[in-house]
Chains A and B, each alone.
Chain A
Amino acid sequence: MIEILFYMAGAIALIATVAALTQTNAAHALIYLIVSLLAVAVLFFLLGAPFAAALEILIYAGAIMVLFVFVIMMLNLGEAGRSREREWLAGRNWLLPGVMAALLLFELVLAVRHAPSLTSGLAVDPKAVGLSLFGPYLLAVEIASMLLMAGLVGAYHLGRRFIVRRTGRR
């Protein structure tokens, strides 16, 4: 019976992804994309990877999506921003994503109630991940840190010129 949760979450992930990539309004697409990421996080939890599920929500649905929101809001400054914002707050835009997210929360509650059976067997706990990450995969951690450093420097370089020109022109 608990297997149904997996297929439900998978269907929600697929539907939300298709809905996200076929929208014309970037902000609406972002809401659907967040629902899709939440669905994938529930899939991770059901597959016995609670650490990965938490990271998916924190970093993907939290940090990376906030970057998208910032850029969309920055690009929409100026013409007709307020009426567009009022349109975004209309109920029909967030009703379907809200229903999907509520379904995912329901699934998560059900899964947590089944937690002893879910985290037994082949589930991988965070301790094993940490031990392996800072044991045999230490070089990969270093490479990831160098990659993040390169991303930080690159993003600062691109964004700094944007900000300086904008304030200099005023």
Chain B
Amino acid sequence: MEGLQIPLQHVLLLAGALFTCGLAGLILRRNIIFMLMSLEVMLNSAALAFIAAGARWGQPDGQIIFLLILSVAAAEVSVGLGLVLQIQRRFKTLDMDQANRLRG
């Protein structure tokens, strides 16, 4: 590509940093809405890595995997937010350490 010359390593580093942010948020936060947001960030960083790889070789496969990730994220977040409503109604809290009926 003559216009934009970004080394693939830099894009992958950025995707890895975003994924690490999402993972840290998932581990550290206990509010289930923030945990869902962290999952979104992680899926998004994976999509960025796929797009970068697709752009590196000029193939459409990266964008197709991005579409699949998009549908996975949409399905996951709709079910997850339905669960959030149920948990809020049943436990009266969004703190996941309170909702430990399985004693995990």
A75 contacts the other chain (Cβ, under 8 Å)?
A: yes
Main DSSP-derived SS at the A contact region: helix
Q: Give the most central of A26, A55, A132, A155: most B CB within 10 Å.
A: A155
Given contacts A17-B22, A147-B75, A155-B82, contact A43 B48 (CB under 8 A): yes
Complex: chain B residue closest to A48, CB-CB: B55
Structural contact, B51 and A44, CB atoms closer than 8 A = yes
- A6, A33, A116, A150: the one within 8 Å of B6 (CB): A6
Complex: chain A residue closest to B11, CB-CB: A47
Count of chain B residues near A, Cβ 8 A:
62
Structural contact, B68 and A162, CB atoms closer than 8 A = no
Count of chain A residues near B, Cβ 8 A:
71
What residues on A are CB-neighbors of B2 within 8 Å? 117, 120-121
Chain B 1-42, CB-CB to A under 8 Å as 1, else 0, gives 111111000110010011001101100010101101110110
Given contacts A129-B63, A148-B71, contact A37 B79 (CB under 8 A): no
B99 contacts the other chain (Cβ, under 8 Å)?
A: no
What residues on B are CB-neighbors of A43 within 8 Å? 11, 14, 48, 51
- B29, B31, B71: the one within 8 Å of A147 (CB): B71
Structural contact, A123 and B68, CB atoms closer than 8 A = no
Structural contact, B81 and A26, CB atoms closer than 8 A = no
Structural contact, A20 and B78, CB atoms closer than 8 A = no
Structural contact, A124 and B73, CB atoms closer than 8 A = no
In the bound complex, how far is the Cα of B45 from the Cα of A37, in angstroms? 10
Structural contact, B52 and A33, CB atoms closer than 8 A = no
- A46, A51, A75, A143: the one within 8 Å of B63 (CB): A51
Complex: chain A residue closest to B37, CB-CB: A33
Would you give 6 A-B contacts (Cβ < 8 Å), ordered by A?
A21-B34, A30-B37, A71-B85, A124-B63, A133-B64, A147-B72
B residues with CB within 8 A of A: 1-6, 10-11, 14, 17-18, 21-22, 24-25, 29, 31, 33-34, 36-38, 40-41, 44, 47-48, 51-52, 54-64, 66-68, 70-79, 81-86, 88-89, 94
Instruction: Supply 6 further A-B pairs (C-beta < 8 A) apart from A74-B85, A144-B67.
Output: A2-B3, A46-B4, A49-B63, A52-B51, A140-B64, A152-B75
